[in-house]
Structure 1
Amino acid sequence: MATRTYDVVVWGATGFTGQWVAKHLFDRYSKKQLRWAIAGRNEEKLRQVRHFIGDAKESVDLLIADSADQASLTAMAEVTKVIISTVGPYSDYGSLLVKVCAMVGTDYVDLAGEVPWMRDMIDEYSEYASKSGARIVHSCGFDSIPSDMGTFYIQQHAQQHFAESLKCVRYTLIKAKGGMSGGTIASMMNVIKLAVNNRKVRRLLGNPYALNPDLKFNGGDKRDQTGVRFSPDVQRWTAPFLMAGINTRIVRRSNALLGFRYGTDFRYSESMATGAGTKGYLAAKSISLGLKAMTLTSVTRLGRSVLRRFLPAQGEGPEVNPDSPGFYVIQFNGETRGGESVVMRLKGDSDPGYGSTSKMLAESAVCLAHDSISVDGGFWTPASAMGDALLTRLQDNAGLSFSVITDND
């Protein structure tokens, strides 16, 4: 690793999120602090990324690597410590790179939210990664760092103050301003398409512990919220949270990889708040029905085609306003087995769909490249791989803040 040319390479840098990852690295780190490059299959588009990030001196190196060309991916992996992959849907474009990184011992982070694909990668390449020393960490963006690291943080607080872990943690998205990238939407549709055509995938998606090392593990969690519920935690109506299907699985995998630090009976859930009173209830009902309608529409090729007309295309994203970068606020509520309660707020200073995601992904890669990380090669989660080191980076460099509060103000 010490002899490799780059600390970090951003693969898929020409896409919407990839450009913002590159911009964060360019703005945050000098060449002396971080040796990095951008990569993709089109040299001209990579040169345009240099312009986007403000690299007038063309100081950032360009690497050519294609998702279908193992030789080019291997050449890229062999010269870097960590690869950031922003190329989704990952089940279409990401598998070969994971294989290559696992084989040549290159650390890897991505934005994957595709549970079936991640399960396949874990099952197929864990042995390679263990032998080579490659640390593979999926879901290092809004899926699922706030969930995973927020739970890690509140659990640490409970251990420090009550000398025991929290038996349950509930995540509620209080408010957010931002939009989704086309890559995220394409990945979601791809998962639905796979589920329609494959009974095994449907069973996996219905398993709350689909990403646990032991697929037969059965804890206290059931299916994710699908309808409207009133939350005593935030005193508001809540709707199903679109990202819960991936976030909850990552948090439960972290618990297992951390030696069930939170307990074998630990429970975790996610929802999004819509407001109080009739207005809040109707908003939650509308979101619930809308998600069900989108899922049903995505089942057919025609339905997916119709949805794509109204949603950002792959490689595109929401309109960016520098004067209004977006934000999000998440509340975590938990109770220990002894009856103590903890309430924690996590705040992000940018649009969760690209601004905050790009910073979290970039800092995860830098954490693996530069910080003292004790885990060996294998497939990890953000919390189980990077823990306190990543918590520090997220707060120092990625605009996240974690704070324990005493009430729901």
Structure 2
Amino acid sequence: MTDSQRPYDLVVWGATGVAGNLVAEYLTRQYTPDELSLALGGRNRDRLAAVETELVEQAAEWDELPTVIADATEPETLRAMAEQTRVVCTTVGPYTRYGTPLVDACVTAGTDYCDLTGEVNWVREIIDRYHDDAVESETRIIHGCGFDSVPADIGTLLVQSHARAEFGGACETVRIYLERSSGGVSGGTLASFGELFAAVSNDPLARQTLRNPYSLAPPGERSGVDPGTHPLPRNDRLRSSWTSPSPMAPVNERIVRRSNAVLGYPWGREFRCTERIPTGSGVGGAARATLIAGGLGAFTAAMSVDPIRNGIQRYVFPDPGEGPSDEQIENGHFTVRIVGRGTATAGPFTVEAEFGADRDPGYGATARMLGEAGVCLVRGEVESPLSGGVLTPASGIGLPLAARLRDVGFTASVETVSHSD
């Protein structure tokens, strides 16, 4: 079946969950049926019907929303769904548990795919199993299209594109700073988090994936000069601030390095990137950085022990299906600053990008990021030399995603902040 014969442009798979519902709600508010042929995907017919009714009541332009019934445990239903649409946006996690059959179905059907995963062990598995097949079928499998890892990945692309245009060369180093963030967390997200720790505790390959900064690079290229995440507080002279490790660094740094690798190393093989949280200067900044680093270390240690992790998941984490309140989503916000440094013929230069939104990063903003990534794929708004493969937001879509997000209220700016003439 050719793209023109498929009844849907885009299926939101997982529309009955917290994240999937927000993606579907966003798309029905932002687009009309004439602009986007949208369907809702899930395994429970009654729950899908309830979501459809609610969305149609909220969005005046939509008289109905088709539904597609498919189950992650029944691969033939996923194949049937993939064959009906040009793009699948999936929020169904943990991806380690439920994601692989859908990727398989999309690669087989030639259906573009994007998700929200931050489970780097699973991404490594998908790269090794499906990248070559996705290249051959010209199917874009794009991981990390939410808060993990659009701000870091597209922000780095903004910095590097500006540097190459203005100075004729790339930045050798990029630092990603999570400057502010406020929002809620759902049970589904924390379930995925727990799944990652379970894999690391019990699977040697998963442990190796998290220890190797280049674990998402192509096979044969999984080593380099970048030492990866630093677990201790550091006094960052570039920001004149103490910094702590970021909990998102293990995902975002690897996604950015994969972007550089699959694009053919336009930023150089000596490229380094790191993500940190600025905590301020002086004794207070050092104390805050130490507190965050210590807390992350203690939490990581606890989640690495099976009985403790199981207890935390059972008694502390919210249940899957529970999510942040509407007030948390509406009042959330985030700012990520990406600073690149390089050397041109005339001397050193510094380029800075800001990526942010006045929405909860994990849900309100993520719904827009995933939704607009899907729309970019539907409309062919892609700036990339790659027509298929297991890709990243920067390597699979590129700067058109930044442009779309600006149009819906995001900040995605870049400028030169210093250079030598």
**Shorter-chain TM band:** over 0.9
Q: Is the 8 A contact 2:162 2:414 kept in 1?
A: no
Query: What's the CA shift for 1:372?
Result: 4.2
- Give yes or no for the alignment of 1:404 onto 2:415: yes
2-side partners of 1:316 and 1:213: how far apart?
37
> Partner letter of residue 259 of structure 2?
S
The normalised TM-score by structure 1 is: 0.95
Query: What's the CA shift for 1:322?
Result: 7.1
2-side partners of 1:131 and 1:22: how far apart?
31
SS in 2 for 1:55: helix
**Alignment: residue pair count:** 407
More deviation in 109-118 or 216-225? 216-225
> Partner letter of residue 208 of structure 2?
R
Unaligned runs of 5+ in 2: none
Identity percentage of aligned residues = 39
Counterpart residue number, 1:363: 372
Query: What's the CA shift for 1:105?
Result: 0.6
SS in 2 for 1:331: strand
1-side partners of 2:82 and 2:335: how far apart?
36
Query: What's the CA shift for 1:54?
Result: 4.8
More deviation in 234-243 or 149-158? 234-243
* 1:273-352 equivalences in 2 (<5 Å): 273-308=278-313, 309-321=315-327, 324-338=330-344, 339-352=348-361
> Partner letter of residue 396 of structure 2?
A
| Cα gap change, 1:222 to 1:109, in 2 (>3 Å) | same
1-side partners of 2:148 and 2:374: how far apart?
15
SS in 1 for 2:337: strand
SS in 2 for 1:166: coil
Counterpart residue number, 1:12: 14
Counterpart residue number, 1:31: 33
2-side partners of 1:387 and 1:399: how far apart?
16
> Partner letter of residue 410 of structure 2?
G
More deviation in 212-221 or 19-28? 212-221
- Give yes or no for the alignment of 1:353 onto 2:362: yes
* 1:221-260 equivalences in 2 (<5 Å): 221-260=226-265
1-side partners of 2:377 and 2:230: how far apart?
34
2-side partners of 1:215 and 1:391: how far apart?
31
User: Alpha carbon RMSD of aligned pairs, Å?
Assistant: 1.8
Query: What's the CA shift for 1:404?
Result: 2.3
SS in 2 for 1:354: helix
1-side partners of 2:365 and 2:299: how far apart?
25
* 1:188-267 equivalences in 2 (<5 Å): 188-267=193-272
Q: Is the 8 A contact 2:154 2:399 kept in 1?
A: no
Unaligned runs of 5+ in 1: none
1-side partners of 2:52 and 2:104: how far apart?
29
| Cα gap change, 1:300 to 1:322, in 2 (>3 Å) | closer
Q: Is the 8 A contact 1:155 1:262 kept in 2?
A: yes
2-side partners of 1:296 and 1:360: how far apart?
32
> Partner letter of residue 261 of structure 1?
P
Query: What's the CA shift for 1:153?
Result: 0.3
Q: Is the 8 A contact 1:363 1:398 kept in 2?
A: no
The normalised TM-score by structure 2 is: 0.92
